[in-house]
Structure 1
Amino acid sequence: LFRTAMEVYKGDRYLSGDNKLYEVFKVNKNENTAYAKYLQTEKLPDVNIEEILQAMAVAENTGEKRVAIYSTHSDESYLPSDGAASINGHGGIYKVDAALQKALEAKGVTVKVDRTLYLPHDAMAYSRSRTGAVKLLKDFKPDLLLDVHRDAVPLEEYIRKIAGKNATGVRIVLGRNNPNLKANQQLAYRIKAIADKTYPNMIKDIFFGKGDFNQDLTPNSLLLEFGTYSHTRERAEVSASLIADVLTKALYGSDEQKQVGTVTKAQRPLPGQNKAAGTGIWVLIGVVVVSAVAFMFLSTGGREMYHKFSKATRKEFASYLGKFRRKKGDEP
C-alpha cells in the first residue's frame, strides 16, 4: 500500500489515498520491517469547487499572491529523462520547480524559486536549506513555502494518468515534530480534498514523518514529492502543472485560508505525542534504497501474513521490486 525512501520511525503516521490514518508503533531495522495500526478514517474538509471559484473571482484584485519554491535535495533527478537519478549540481528536480512556477504564474501568482544548491544529499541537507527557507520568508513573504522533491521507490507507486495525461502521483510530507503541524495538516487536508474532486488520484497520500522539514518556520509550509526517480521527468512536470490549479484554489478560494508567510521563532522538534490506537494491525515491509529505508504498508486483513523480501545491496537506485505491468503504449 505504501513505500517511501524516507526512514520510518515509531510514531510516524500515514494517511492513505482513501483517507485511512495509520500510526507506526514498532520498527525492526534489522529486518527492514515496521508495524502500524489503523487509527481512523479521516474526514477531509467539505469543499465546494463552485464556491471556491466564486471566492477567487471576488478576491482577484485584493492583493499580490505569492508562492516560494526551493529544493532541499538539489541533486534529485529522473533517470529516463536526465540520464541519472542523481546529478552533482542542479538536478532534474529544478525543471519540476520551473513547471510549477510557470503554471502558478499563469494563474496570477508571483513565484520565487530558490535555485541555491544544498549539496550534498545527506542528513545535514535540511539544515543547509533552512537558511534559504528563512531568506525566502523574510525577503519574499510568500503565502506558501514549498520544498519540492522526488521519491526513490519503484515507479508503480507513483505512475498515473491524470486528466488524460501521463503524470505522477504526488505525496505530501509533513514534519510531525514541529509546532506548526496543526496548520500544516489543515492545509494539506484542504489540498487533498480539492485535488480529490478536481484531479482524482493525484494526491497519493500524506506522510507524517519524524522531524520538522523546516515546517516550523511558517504555518503554510509543505514538502511535495513528485513521483520517483525511475519514470520520466515529464510526468512529474505534468503533475506540477496540474497541482498549481489545486494550490491556488486551496490558498485563495477562501479568505480564511490565506496566511502571509512569516518566520516564526525557531524551535527544536517536540517529542512525538502520538499513541497507537484503533484496530487492524498493518504491516510495513521495507527494502533498503542506498542508505535510506523504504517501507511498505501491507494489510493483514485480520489474518496473520508474513512476507519475506531479500535485502537489497545493489548500487544506489538499482533495486527494483517486482515487475511493473504497464498498458501497451504507456511510457514510464
Structure 2
Amino acid sequence: MKAKIKEKQVKMGVIPVAKRYVFLSALLVLTFVLTGGAALGAHYDMPRGQYFTLLDENNNVIHQTGTKVYKGDEYIAADNSRYKVIDIDGTTARCAYQGQEKMPALDFSTRKNAWVFGGSRLAPVQANKKPTIALYHTHSDESYVAGDGAESVNGKGGIYDIGQTLSNRLQQLGFNVQYNRNNHNPHDVNAYSRSRKTAASLLKQQPDVILDIHRDAVPASQYQTEVAGKEVTKVKLVVGNQNPNMKTNLEFAKRIKAAMDNKAPGLSNGIFIGKGDYNQDLSPRAMLIEVGAHTNQKSDAKEGVTVFADTLPGLMGMNTVNANNAPAAKPLTGQSQGAGTTILIILVVVAAAAGGFYLLNRGSTSK
C-alpha cells in the first residue's frame, strides 16, 4: 500500500522534501567553499585601543599586532626567526621558537630573479612589457592620528594617501599600476567579503601582483624606524593560512622580504601568518601589507611605502640601474589567472547543479 502511494506521489510531481534539501544544501556548501567564504569569519581586528602582544619563551616581546591572533598562527621576525603561537592568554600570545627561516637568495646584479612557485619556474620578463601591480584597500577607513586627526575616518581614510603615494612611486619606477579606490566600509568582519569583488575585478586584468594596503593599530614604536637616514615606518607582510595558495603566497612574501632586506635593511617588520584567507586564494601573488600604525606620522608612512616601492623593481626582473627607462616586463601569467579559474569553476558547478535540479523536477512531474 505504501509503495503504491509513493509511486503515485512521484507521478504527481511530489519529490520527497528531504531529497531536495540535501541537493540544495550540497550546492550551497560547495559554492560557499569555492568562493572562499569559509574563512571569512577569521578576519577579526581587535577593538579600538587593544592589540595582541607576542612573547617568546623568555617573555621577550617579538611582535605586536592589531589583528586577532589565534593558536597556531606564526610570525617570521625581521631577523628571520620563526615563531608559532602555542597559547593565548587574554591579549598575550605565547610563542615557541621554530628556528631560522630559510630565505630565498636573490641576485640583483642580473635580471634573472625568476620566481619559483610550486615547482614551476616563471620567467621574470617578456621583452618590452611592463609589470603591472594592482592596489586596493579592504579597510577604507584606516587613518593616521598624526596627519588625519583620527585613527578612523568614515568615507575614505588616510590609507588612500598611502595607496596614492605607492601608486605614484611605482609609476615613476616604470610599473603599470591599477589602483582601485572602492570604499569597502564599514570596517567589520564582512569587509573582506566586499573587497573580494574588487580584488576579483582587478585580477581580470591579469596583474602580476595585487596588494591590499592597510595600516596596523599598535604603539608607534612597533613600526617606527630609520632607513638610509630617513624617518619611515616599517612595512609588514601578512599571509592567510586558510587558502589553497598559502604556500605560494608565503614564498612570494619571503621573496618580497628578501628584496626589502637587500635594498632597504630595517624596513621589514616581518611576515605574519594568521588565520584567514585575506582573499589570497584568488592569486599566488596576492599580498596584504601593513604600512605603519595609526600612532605613526602619516608622513613617515608615506616615506616607508615609497622605500618599499623602490625594493620591487629588482624582484620583478626589472633593470634596477635605470628603472625609469628599462624595458620592464611581466612574468608569465599562468598562475595569475587563479581568480578567473575559480569563478569559472563556480559558474560551471552552479550551472550543472541548476540543470540537474531542473531535470530532477522535470523527471518527477512527467506522466
TM-score, with normalisation over the residues of structure 2?
Answer: 0.68
Higher Cα radius of gyration: 2
Contact 2:113 2:317 in 1 (8 A): no
Number of residue pairs the alignment of both structures matches: 263
The residue matched to 1:236 in structure 2 has which SS?
helix
**Residue identity matched to 1:42:** E
Contact 2:136 2:211 in 1 (8 A): yes
Alignment of 1:107-256 (within 5 A): 107-138=173-204, 140-252=205-317
- Alignment match, 2:94: 35
Gaps of at least 5 residues in structure 1 are 268-332
Decide which of 238, 244, 265 is 2:342's aligned counterpart: 265
Contact 1:173 1:224 in 2 (8 A): yes
**Residue identity matched to 1:191:** I
Distance (Å, rounded) in 1 between the aligned partners of 2:149 and 2:112? 41
- Alignment match, 1:314: none
Distance (Å, rounded) in 1 between the aligned partners of 2:308 and 2:300? 12
Deviations 1:151-210 (A, max 9, x none): 000000000111221110000000011111111111111111121111001111100010
The Cα of 1:10 is off from its aligned counterpart by 1.1
**Residue identity matched to 2:225:** R
The residue matched to 1:142 in structure 2 has which SS?
coil
- Between the two structures, name the one with larger relative contact order (CA 8 Å, sep ≥ 6): 1
Distance (Å, rounded) in 1 between the aligned partners of 2:332 and 2:299? 32
The Cα of 1:253 is off from its aligned counterpart by 5.0
Contact 1:74 1:118 in 2 (8 A): yes
- Alignment match, 1:20: 81
Gaps of at least 5 residues in structure 2 are 1-61, 115-123, 320-327, 346-367
**Residue identity matched to 2:291:** F
TM-score, with normalisation over the residues of structure 1?
Answer: 0.75
- Alignment match, 1:6: 67
- Identical columns (%): 40
- Alignment match, 1:80: 146
The residue matched to 1:3 in structure 2 has which SS?
strand
Distance (Å, rounded) in 1 between the aligned partners of 2:127 and 2:162? 28
- Alignment match, 2:130: 64
**Residue identity matched to 1:82:** D
The structure that is helix-richer by fraction is 2
The residue matched to 2:299 in structure 1 has which SS?
helix
Contact 2:280 2:287 in 1 (8 A): yes
Q: Does 1:44 align with 2:109?
A: no
Distance (Å, rounded) in 1 between the aligned partners of 2:289 and 2:295? 17
